[in-house]
Structure 1
Amino acid sequence: MATMVEVARKAKVSISTVSHVLNGTRNVEPETRKRVLAAIASTGYRQDALARALRRSQTDSIGLVVSDAGEPAFAEMVHGVEHAAVENGLTLVLANSAENADREKKAVQTLLNRRVDGLILARAAESDPALLQALEQEKPPTILLDRIFSQLPFDQVGADNRETMRQLVTHMIVSGHRRFALVAGDVRVPTLQERMGGFTDASLEGRLGLDEQLIITGTDREALAEELGNSLRTGQITAVIACSTPLAALSLRTLARAGISTPRDIAFATFDGFDNSDLFQPRVTTVRQPAFDMGAAAVHLLVERLRTPEASPRTVRLQQRIEWRESTEDYRRQPAGD
């Protein structure tokens, strides 16, 4: 295996000049740099990444822990993180907590043991508060992704969940809907809690009776489906909104089992949506998260945090997009007030 000495000899420069070219620690004249790179290529020299990391106290790697890598929105976030990491010369180490607090803690500790330069964390629903307390004390650069928590001393990236839900429901109220079923799921998750808050905002603004709206919460999928199915039998619900992709699948299955057609019998909309959603008949109205951009934004915040560790924490919220499709169309209903 070639050594740095051989590279220096072949390029007719000092060993320190080779080091500066490899590590970018000092400007080197273009012609000299070109000779060094040619010597590296011809000798087949490979830098010892571990030794370099120890010298620089950096590994040029970042850790990402997501709560559900299989969910489409999180998968897109991972792609965004990976893309931005490569652009910044960083290697990504990925872990999936599967919404399990113990797995989350172990994953974070493993990544820190690997000396990653920083962490991006999409917290599990049952995340142990002690984990963030430990991160706050140990102070590894940490970005919280997707699930935003107020008054935390960390940089955070999320979406405008509450406002987008308000817009979605307001539009449907204007279209004539007065009785909704909101399948909110596990509202311990801040993202789902924000979406439920947006539903409440729109209902109050639209002068709907909140006690006449069905908000279905919880973690037991069978219980959620049963409650939705029972509400549909009354014939009073005219619109169903699911707050995530798994909840959308559960809701659509429940509608199908009840023999209810969308949008003929009931309107339906969801957050996050499905891959290849245009294949659904009817096509489903979807609030699309800027998931890829959220992942990339988390990396950019982390790079800034590495450069300026004493800067004040920032929270970035990206806009979501409502894709209106046939599942919310019902030409029998007229706008309210007509």
Structure 2
Amino acid sequence: MATMRDVAEKAGVSITSVSHFINNTRPISDSLKEQIELAMTDLDFQPNALARSLRLKQTKSVGIIVPDSANPFFANVTRSIEKALFANQYNVILGNSDGDLDRALLYLKVMTERQVDGLIFIDVGASGDVLNAALRSLNIPVILIDRIVPGVEVDYVTVTNIRGGFDATQHLISLGHRRIACLTGPRGLTASMDRVAGYRQALSEADLPLDENLIYTGDFQFESGYDGARQLLNLSPRPTAIFACNDLMAVGVMRAAAELGIVVPSELSVVGFDDIPLAKFSAPALTTIAQPTEQIGILTANRFLKRMQNQDLPPEQQILETELLIRQTTAPALTKRG
């Protein structure tokens, strides 16, 4: 097996120059780089990543913990982060907490034991003091995405969830809907609570009464959208529109409406949140509040890279704008209903 000494001899340079090239610890000329790269290729030289990480006190790995790796929103954000970090020679270790606090805590333990250089975390919701204490105890950079964990002073990247909930509801109000239901995410999630706050604010500003019977607590999955819609659409009078706090639940709503013989959008308007790829390919195409998933991932990766350069930077909060995308699942309310 070739060594750095072999590479240095073949390239006609010093071992020190080879070391600086491999570890990126000092600038070297382009001509020396070319000589070393050719020698490494000819000798099939593979640097010892473990030894290098021990010297530099970096493993070039980042842990990402998500609550649902099957959810297209989290998958798209994670892909964007991985792409940006990979371009900077970082590897990603992914953990799926499946919305379970104990699993999230276990992944925190496993990833710190593997000495990841930093952690990107999306809260499972209703985490309480245990997770807060675990995150505060970490001595590596931590970045929160989408969901703020109260009491944890770290970097986070999120969106204007209140504004998004408001825009979704105001759009339905502008179409003449007055009995508007809301399918929420799990209790305790800041993202869900903020979207519901926007829903409540829009009703209040339009002088519409808030009927708590029209608010159904879901879990951001297809099934809870389906179950919630079945319950809401059996009310009398039933809602003429439903705002679902994510697209997966909105698709569940559309399935339930179809089974009940309720036509979307002529008899029921539906708005989602996220703009996952399925939204524009559903039939009819889903009106939704779009989150800039690629931008979220890029900003998160860039913030991590800045943290690796200077871990004494003050925490930074980046809040991105959401956007209402009007497609085919919303229409003016009928003046009379059966």
The reply to whether TM is greater than 0.5 is yes
Write the distance in 1 (CA, Å) between the matches of 2:264 and 2:139.
Answer: 50
Letter of the aligned partner of 1:202 in structure 2? A
Letter of the aligned partner of 1:25 in structure 2? T
Residue number in structure 2 paired with 1:54: 54
Residue number in structure 2 paired with 1:34: 34
Residue number in structure 2 paired with 1:73: 73
Letter of the aligned partner of 1:302 in structure 2? F
RMSD: 2.2
- Which stretches in structure 1 are left out of the alignment for 5+ residues? 334-338
Cα shift readout 1:102-123 (whole Å, capped 9, x = no counterpart): 1111111111111110000011
Which of 295, 300, 303 is 1:301 aligned to?
303
Cα shift readout 1:212-251 (whole Å, capped 9, x = no counterpart): 7711125598787556434423134211111113322332
- Which stretches in structure 2 are left out of the alignment for 5+ residues? none
Write the distance in 2 (CA, Å) between the matches of 1:62 and 1:308.
Answer: 16
Cα shift readout 1:164-197 (whole Å, capped 9, x = no counterpart): 2212211221221111110113131111111001
Residue number in structure 2 paired with 1:6: 6
Residue number in structure 2 paired with 1:229: 230
Cα shift readout 1:117-139 (whole Å, capped 9, x = no counterpart): 00000111243532331332332
Write the distance in 1 (CA, Å) between the matches of 2:276 and 2:27.
Answer: 49
Shift of 1:327: 1.1
Structure 1 window deviating more from structure 2 (97-106 vs 204-213): it is 204-213
Task: Return closer, same or farther for 1:74/1:248 CA change in 2, 3 Å cut-off.
Answer: same
Write the distance in 2 (CA, Å) between the matches of 1:239 and 1:177.
Answer: 7
Question: SS of the residue aligned with 1:216?
Answer: strand
Residue number in structure 1 paired with 2:184: 184
Letter of the aligned partner of 1:257 in structure 2? E
Write the distance in 2 (CA, Å) between the matches of 1:42 and 1:260.
Answer: 69
Question: SS of the residue aligned with 1:312?
Answer: coil
Task: Return closer, same or farther for 1:128/1:113 CA change in 2, 3 Å cut-off.
Answer: farther
Paired residues, number: 333
Question: SS of the residue aligned with 1:210?
Answer: coil
Shift of 1:44: 1.4
Write the distance in 1 (CA, Å) between the matches of 2:105 and 2:133.
Answer: 12
Letter of the aligned partner of 2:291 in structure 1? Q
Letter of the aligned partner of 1:244 in structure 2? N
Residue number in structure 2 paired with 1:253: 255
Superposition map of 1:167-178 within 5 A: 167-178=167-178
Superposition map of 1:155-234 within 5 A: 155-211=155-211, 214-218=214-218, 228-233=229-234, 234=236
Write the distance in 1 (CA, Å) between the matches of 2:43 and 2:238.
Answer: 77
Residue number in structure 2 paired with 1:153: 153
Shift of 1:294: 1.2
Contact residue 142 and residue 154 of structure 1 kept, 8 A: yes
Residue number in structure 1 paired with 2:18: 18
Letter of the aligned partner of 1:71 in structure 2? N
Letter of the aligned partner of 1:18 in structure 2? V
Write the distance in 1 (CA, Å) between the matches of 2:227 and 2:46.
Answer: 61
- TM-score, normalized by length of structure 2? 0.91
Of all paired residues, the percent bearing the same amino acid is: 32
Contact residue 97 and residue 124 of structure 1 kept, 8 A: yes
Shift of 1:55: 0.6
Task: Return closer, same or farther for 1:59/1:223 CA change in 2, 3 Å cut-off.
Answer: closer
Shift of 1:6: 0.9
Write the distance in 2 (CA, Å) between the matches of 1:289 and 1:143.
Answer: 18
Write the distance in 2 (CA, Å) between the matches of 1:151 and 1:112.
Answer: 21
Residue number in structure 1 paired with 2:273: 271
Cα shift readout 1:271-320 (whole Å, capped 9, x = no counterpart): 12453434333222111221222122211111111212111111111122
Shift of 1:38: 1.6
Task: Return closer, same or farther for 1:10/1:260 CA change in 2, 3 Å cut-off.
Answer: same
Question: SS of the residue aligned with 2:329?
Answer: helix
Write the distance in 2 (CA, Å) between the matches of 1:36 and 1:80.
Answer: 32
Structure 1 window deviating more from structure 2 (172-181 vs 94-103): it is 172-181
Q: Which has the higher contact order (CA 8 A, sep 6+)?
A: 1
Shift of 1:97: 0.5
Residue number in structure 1 paired with 2:319: 317
Write the distance in 2 (CA, Å) between the matches of 1:271 and 1:145.
Answer: 16
Residue number in structure 2 paired with 1:241: 243
Task: Return closer, same or farther for 1:212/1:106 CA change in 2, 3 Å cut-off.
Answer: closer
- TM-score, normalized by length of structure 1? 0.91
